[in-house]
A and B are shown apart, each in its own frame.
Chain A
Amino acid sequence: MSHSKSRHHIFSQGIDQYFTDVYNAWQFVLRFFREAFKPPFHFGEIIHQCYEIGCRSLALITLTGFVTGIVFTKQSRPSLAEFGATSWLPSLISIAIVRALASLVTSLICSGKVGSSIGAELGSMKVTEQIEAMEVSAINPFKYLAVTRILATTITVPILGLYCGFVALLGSYFNVHAHEDTSIISFFENGFSSISFLDIYTSIFKSIIFGFTIGVIGCYKGFNASGGTQGVGRAANQAVVLSMFLVFIEEIVIVQVSNWIRYY
């Protein structure tokens, strides 16, 4: 803000700025929970946003999921073959995909495609006063724009995550089928025997958190864009960087916690 010059800084200006940013983002999250459960609910807009998010990222997720499945299988085979254990491939791949890859790949793609487009869209609405235009016509822009988009990413990213996992397993199956001549039934039987419900729940839970993060950061950066068209680009860019960063941090934390639950 323009008056940061006159403000007293506890640390250097850059670090202060960073903590202010984190604090403001946290306020944004709290505001989401205050406003999300009060009417009016814009169900139509939520569904519209889910559809938009799905359309925007489906092709890329399909491709990336499929390729991940194939490549991961191909690259793991030699190590297992050394021990004559290629029959473990399906379970190894399933564990990797369900526990980590599916939700992580999906969230990173969505950070890039969805996070940036939310940041850019809301950012341009901010700098061209469209958000203020909503306010003066007695429409709550936070509810209409932010709450709907955050809910949409929170709903859609887990669904896309499940889909991505499925496509990756399919890719892996094609590779395994070509080399080891395994039937699809025994591939999936073998794979699913080694993953528990806890794995699946954790994976879905992670995707929900990631989706929420992507929505919140995209909207937060968009709502706080300033400085014309340059500001719009900056908002989109920062939304991607920050949400990817947070997704990695959350991944580490959730893995730690779910491991405690698993072994104690």
Chain B
Amino acid sequence: MHPSDTNLNNPTPVISIRGLYKSFGDLQVLKGVDLDVFKGENVVVLGRSGTGKSVLIKIIVGLLKPDKGRVNVLGQEVENLSGKELDALRLRVGFSFQNSALYDSMNVRENLEFPLKMNVKNLTKKQINRAVEEVLNAVGLKEKMKQMPADLSGGQRKRIGIARTLILKPEIMLYDEPTSGLDPITSTEINNLINEVRENYNTSSIIITHDLTCAKVTGDRVAMLLEGRFLKMGNFEEVFSTDDEQIKSFFNYNFIT
């Protein structure tokens, strides 16, 4: 898929961010972020640890409030939404947490059922079972249905976390470091999963990572977050065929070590 095509066919972005500022006390994290994500597109956000990548996507789903700037998701200004409207929007946006954030007290099956049962009334047992099986098949972990999250490996937890967001059939997926702390083979599996999710669920995504393989495999466009703003945006080759020292050092570091 060519990124330029997606842009031409879908001129209105599903996520549009303008002039976003956020600080915690004296620490300025985001200093004027602009970003558009178009329908059907995977945008990768690269950046060093602590540059505010997680903060950025938490602002998109309204978990954090920006100091300044506009965030428009699926045609709605996040800041102006009432509690109910925000909930309705959140159902359309899947959020996969950096550390999976599975509910410790529930087994895998209950983890998956929980968002469904709480949000969709009057489902039959059969419908719930079918939905659970479908997402477990999508992430390839059908045999883990009865296990507790504590008994899963890191990669399995990530996949169950993704399955839990898929069960609500989101239009947008936000992945926070889906491959961090995983071995290269498991990382490849997750990268493939991200691409499969886009195909099968028709999602547009933001993928946060510092893993360049992940960026290359999953991203239509890559955006480099440095010192609170996007320094460079474009496809993978464009971003890294640059003379900018900071980007080059990021690139070199990733491939040498």
Contact = CB atoms under 8 A, between A and B. Distances in A.
B104 A136 contact: no
B99 A136 contact: no
A5 B25 contact: yes
12 contacts: A2-B27, A3-B24, A5-B26, A6-B26, A128-B104, A132-B58, A132-B63, A136-B90, A136-B95, A137-B114, A137-B118, A137-B119
A1 B97 CA distance: 23
Contact of A138 (B24, B27, B87, B102): B87
Interface of A: 1-3, 5-6, 121, 124-125, 128-130, 132-133, 135-139, 144
A138 B91 contact: yes
A132 B119 contact: no
A1 B90 contact: no
Given A136-B95, A138-B118, 17 more contacts: A3-B24, A3-B25, A6-B26, A121-B105, A124-B104, A125-B103, A125-B104, A128-B99, A130-B101, A132-B101, A133-B101, A133-B102, A133-B103, A135-B63, A137-B115, A138-B90, A139-B119
B93 A136 contact: yes
A117 B87 CA distance: 30
State which size class the interface on B falls in.
20 to 34
A3 B26 contact: yes
Contacts of A124: 104
A138 B91 CA distance: 6
Interface in B57-105: 58, 61, 63, 87-88, 90-91, 93, 95, 97-99, 101-105
Contacts of B63: 132, 135-136
Contacts of A144: 118
Nearest to B103: A130
Nearest to B161: A133
B168 interface: yes
Contacts, number: 63
Interface of B: 24-27, 58, 61, 63, 87-88, 90-91, 93, 95, 97-99, 101-105, 114-115, 118-119, 164-165, 168
A137 B90 contact: yes
Given A128-B104, A130-B101, A139 B25 contact: no
**Interface of A: prevailing SS:** helix
Which 9 A-B residue pairings sit nearest by Cβ, starting from the closest?
A3-B25, A138-B87, A137-B115, A133-B101, A129-B101, A136-B95, A138-B90, A2-B25, A139-B118
Q: Which residue, of A3, A130, A139, has the highest number of chain B Cβ atoms within 10 A?
A: A130
B247 to A, nearest CB: 30
A130 B101 CA distance: 5
A31 B25 CA distance: 26
Q: Which residue, of A128, A130, A133, has the highest number of chain B Cβ atoms within 10 A?
A: A133
A90 to B, nearest CB: 46
Given A136-B63, A137-B90, A138-B90, A130 B26 contact: no
Contact of B61 (A1, A121, A136): A136
Given A124-B104, A132-B63, A132-B97, A139 B27 contact: no
Contacts of A6: 25-26
Contacts of A139: 114-115, 118-119
Q: Which residue, of A5, A132, A137, has the highest number of chain B Cβ atoms within 10 A?
A: A137
Contacts of A138: 87-88, 90-91, 115, 118-119
A6 B26 CA distance: 8
Contacts of A136: 61, 63, 90, 93, 95
Contacts of A121: 105
B108 to A, nearest CB: 14
Nearest to B83: A140
Contacts of A125: 103-104
A47 to B, nearest CB: 16
